[in-house]
Chains A and B, each alone.
Chain A
Amino acid sequence: ETGVTQSPTHLIKTRGQQVTLRCSSQSGHNTVSWYQQALGQGPQFIFQYYREEENGRGNFPPRFSGLQFPNYSSELNVNALELDDSALYLCASSSGTRTMNTEAFFGQGTRLTVV
């Protein structure tokens, strides 16, 4: 068991709405990364947080934002939802420094459907 938990597991939102996804990191891990997995594709890196600060960002627009809390849990916020945002959102936790990290352990994901 990885110890990374995500909520909710499934979510349906309407285009234009805002959504917040949550992730609880594995105990002892100080780094959280978020990935978007579209159907039939591999996960795509959204951004990473290390000790509450953003530590790298993928090719996603600013309406994708995040937070990491002192207990290293994390949120992913998406504003102005678009149909193409429908995907599985994965949270992964790891431990290390700003530049070096151990293997990432993933949560079960949140399936977001935008209608």
Chain B
Amino acid sequence: DQQVKQNSPSLSVQEGRISILNCDYTNSMFDYFLWYKKYPAEGPTFLISISSIKDKNEDGRFTVFLNKSAKHLSLHIVPSQPGDSAVYFCAASVPTQGGKLIFGQGTELSVKP
């Protein structure tokens, strides 16, 4: 039972354009969502998060949008840079359960110069 899904295994974007990574979830108990970036041979790096009481959170080039009614969130990267090329994981947690994270399968983003 995959409670967090990233349906696009890969995404290719031109440098300078917008990258949009999508994530769907099924468990309405989730109330905190995170995005992690992972380079090969490294652990996931925390990127940005959003609480379920918000619908948008922005940090520099990264913005996360949350649509609770659709159980959908997305990560926007504007403008995309070649250094953004990595695997991006969406994760959800129920903080009252100790912050255990449920991850999606990941989307590999390739930003081409």
Instruction: List A residues at the B interface (Cβ < 8 Å).
Output: 2, 4, 6, 31, 33, 35, 40-45, 48, 50, 55-56, 58, 90, 92, 94, 96, 98-109
Contact = CB atoms under 8 A, between A and B. Distances in A.
Given A42-B89, A42-B104, A44-B103, A108 B43 contact: yes
B43 A104 contact: no
B105 interface: yes
Nearest to A10: B41
24 contacts: A6-B43, A31-B99, A33-B99, A35-B101, A41-B105, A42-B4, A42-B89, A42-B104, A43-B44, A43-B89, A43-B101, A43-B103, A45-B101, A45-B102, A55-B98, A58-B100, A90-B43, A92-B101, A99-B98, A100-B95, A100-B98, A104-B101, A106-B45, A108-B43
Interface of B: 4, 6, 34, 36, 41-46, 49, 89, 91, 93, 95-106
A100 B99 contact: yes
A74 to B, nearest CB: 14
B98 A108 contact: no
A103 B41 CA distance: 21
